[in-house]
Amino acid sequence: MTTNMLFRAWPNSAVFFAVALLCAAFAGCAPRAHYMVWHPAELDIQGIERLAIMDFEGEQQSGKIARSALQNQLFENKYYQLVDQAELARVRPVLRPDGSPDMTAALEAARMLNVDVLLCGQVVSYNVADDLQTDHRIDIGGSSSTTDKTKSGSLGFGLDSTQTLTREASVSLAIKLIDVRTGQLKGARQFSHAFNGKRVNGNGELPGREAILTKLLRECAQDTERMIAPHYRQQEIALARTYYGKGMGQIREGNKLAAKGKWQEAEQQWQAAVRENPQSHVAHYNLALAAEVRQDYPAAQEHLDKAIKQYSAVDYQKYKAKLEIDQRKFQAAMAQAQSRPTMIAARQPIQPQQQIAQQPLAGPPPQQQFAQQPMVGPPPQQQMPPQVMMQQPGYPPPQPVMPAAHTQPQR
């Protein structure tokens, strides 16, 4: 039977349906979900655990505000043992009479407190400015009317005014990370973020001045976090879907849950789909995504291989390459965490005479950590504890919950 005869033997609707099934897994309307992937610090931070942040150099109070934002960001990150500047000041005055940081004294105090690195720098820019412009335009118009007997006309002038409020802001931090033991510079970067918004004749949303500066400063603090600490980054992924076959209902329900950030519940639905239809490449692909979300890369690879074995979709192959990259980043971040002195000490055999409390090894969070912690920005300065010396023994911290604004329901 020739190909043409074969297609004539199938009803046209069946041919269309078969082709649709091949394309259904990644149609243009496929639902999308967000999740967090662990990344290593950009700098070499091997062996670094205790960190102190100094007031930055800057006009007015901008240097203290910058230190507070950075300290809060790293406190939420939970990688470092943070030593407050006030602790350094108890050992030796670390601020000059004019309020600027004395780095020589700070290094000496940091050595006495066994601090590994100092984070310091300069506030290059921390400003917001408004520009109000009023434009006037003269309108010339005319009108005419006609009756049975007469025709009349008139000419008029009008003044049209447009008031535009333009608000521009910029925050820029020059960051330095100094090795306390040697006094050498371990790394330096400059991070800058800007805002530009307008409101015309009172119409349109324009954030407040302080809110804009706080947001820009938080973005600089997040850049610093990526520079010096393992951290989470948001990623978006397309979920596979199907329109036919056993397990379709569970797959679609799982997709809805994943789009809302409920990955644990979504995984349960996809597992039910596999039990009903073990050959479902769609369910196995989505299970691979769920496994990566909980940082179980061997399980993710296993499910992805099963999906590709059933159907070698281009998107499956792309995700396979991405999964390998994400796993290498995860392993690099874990290696950084395991290099901290407390983690090394935790792996050493404990002698009977030693009074050392064993700390658990850092590793992938357990599955129940699907119940994620909220992602937060820098809280107000008064919410920062005056002394931060405690460190969570396990790392990485729980993954933050994606804000509702970042979720996209299934269409």
Task: Name the pTM for this structure.
Answer: 0.72
Fold designation for 50-133+161-229: Rossmann fold (3.40.50)
CA distance 186 to 183: 9
Record the tokens describing residue 373, joined without a space. 């912690």
Kindly give the interhelix angle for 263-276 and 281-293, rounded to the nearest 10 degrees: 150
Output DSSP code: residue 173.
E
Give the closest residue to 119 by CA, choosing from 108, 105, 103. Answer: 103
Q: To which H or E segment does residue 35 belong?
A: strand 32-39
**What six digits make up the tokens of 370?**
């699907």
Q: What is the DSSP letter of 357?
A: P
**CATH of 23-37+235-338 among 3.50.50.60, 2.40.33.10, 1.25.40.10, 3.30.1300.10:** 1.25.40.10
Kindly report, as residue ranges, where domains of CATH 1.25.40.10 are found in the chain.
23-37+235-338
**The tokens of 81 are what?**
């043992």
In the chain, ranges of CATH 3.40.50.10610 domains: 50-133+161-229
**Per-position pLDDT tens, the chain of length 411:** 433 333 333 344 443 444 444 444 444 567 999 999 999 999 999 889 999 999 999 998 999 999 999 999 999 999 999 999 999 999 999 999 998 999 999 999 999 999 999 999 999 999 999 999 988 777 666 555 555 555 556 556 667 788 999 999 999 999 999 999 999 999 999 999 999 999 988 888 899 999 999 999 999 999 999 999 999 999 999 999 988 889 999 999 999 999 999 999 999 999 999 999 999 999 999 999 999 999 999 999 999 999 999 998 999 999 999 999 999 999 999 999 888 877 666 545 434 333 323 333 334 433 333 333 333 333 344 343 333 333 333 566 666 654 443 333 333
